[in-house]
Amino acid sequence: MTGTRPPAREGERPAGAARERRSRPTYDPSSLVEVAARVFNERGYDATSMEDLSAAAGITKSSFYHHVRGKEALLRAALERALDGLFGILDEPAASTGSPLTRLRHIVRRQVEVLVAELPHVTLLLRLRGNTETERWALARRREFDAAIAALVREASSAGELRAGIDPAVGARLLSGLVNSLVEWYRPGRVDADDLVAEVDRMAFEGLLAQTPAHDRRPT
């Protein structure tokens, strides 16, 4: 009869099943970590279930477990992405050679670049509450990174490279606050990444005020 489909041969899948299989999203552990980071940021880690993650990925929960052990394993993998990026900066030659101020400026600029490249993962790191063993591990690692920055600020201050009167501890916190605040408003495409790096560098190390020639300054 015209228009009838010949029966499928033994072992052959119907064409509709093949199309359905091709339309399903395919994931690997790395891409599932990206999905998890996004959902954790939207819902909060504690409020997110494996059902939520499966729905966001468009796959079954059993398929999710085929790739990862569970929710906390996803959290650790996402946080490792952020921490590996940040600690990788400290291993770069420009972070260990040159004057303290030169090294500090390099690290701050690279922090912004890592934040832009790993925005969901760094956002997750900065919003941790410390409720799980993995969160406490990540917070301890983050404190190690912050301590390295604070030590470099103190070194730059002792070398006379920072403005007199700045408390190194306060200066380090202000630098971290400036960079970390980007996760609250930066979105890809809103600001060119290179421009953002340059503006943060300028804001952190040159300030907002226009430089006034000494002979034009009024006494206070």
pLDDT digits (tens, 9 = 90+) for 10-49: 555 554 444 434 555 567 888 889 999 999 999 999 999 9
Beta bridge partners of 134: none
For the chain, state the CA radius of gyration: 25
Classified as helix, coil or strand, 206 is: helix
76-206: CATH superfamily: Tetracycline Repressor, domain 2 (1.10.357.10)
Residue of 84, 99, 83 lying closest to 162 (CA atoms): 99
Please provide the DSSP assignment of 68-134 as one string: -S-HHHHHHHHHHHHHHHHHHHHTSGGGTSS-HHHHHHHHHHHHHHHHHHTHHHHHHHHT----SHH
Averaged over 120-145, what is the pLDDT?
A: 96
Spans of all domains in the chain: 76-206
* Cα dihedral: 67, 70, 76, 77 (round 10): 10
- Helix-then-strand count for the chain, H and E: 10, 0
Neighbours of 7 (CB within 10 A): 8
The answer to whether the predicted template modeling score (pTM) of the entire model surpasses 0.85 is: no
The tens digit of pLDDT for each residue in 147-171 reads 999 999 999 999 999 888 888 889 8
Question: What average pLDDT score do residues 171-186 get?
Answer: 94
